[in-house]
Amino acid sequence: MTLQVTTIDEAGADGAGTIRTVTELVVVPECPVDPPDAGFAVSDERDATAHPAGTPDTTRREAAIEDMLQLLEASRRLQATLVANDEHCEASVRRMMDGTSPAAVLVDVDVARARLDLADTLGAFERARHRSRSTFIAAQFESGLNMKEIGRAWAISRQLAHRFFKEARRDG
């Protein structure tokens, strides 16, 4: 199976980026954090419980995979932004401990740009997380789970699970 995935480029955190074809995903952390599984490949092989090709379950599953890949991209961008934020904070503390005035530190660090970048990146991550949760819940429902089971799996109410499901149906 080939998926079209929108990636976030260095130019912005608003989710806009270049389109590329993904046939295999290898997860390599950009920051010193625990990565997800070392790697996985998306293939055309289906397990015995999967619905035949072209059924809603397959469509929902593909949408969930695509949205999870977008969430992974947003997560990586957020990790990189948080590392940069740590570096700004550490530099600010060092400069203030050396006697630099807070006003001069804020100018030197360009705190306005750093704050806006962090806010944009957090917003893009949250949107990707929300969308992936909705499409994943829709895929779970289409595969045979009921809202009570889905809610229990996500530690949310069945009503909230149903709201996410309706949102995925409306958007997808």
Q: Write out pLDDT tens, residues 45-59.
A: 333 333 443 445 678
Contacts of 73 (CB under 8 A, 6+ apart): 5, 6, 7, 8, 128
In the chain, where are the structural domains located? 3-171
Reported pTM: 0.62
pLDDT in tens, 39-90: 433 332 333 333 443 445 678 889 899 999 999 999 999 999 999 999 888 8
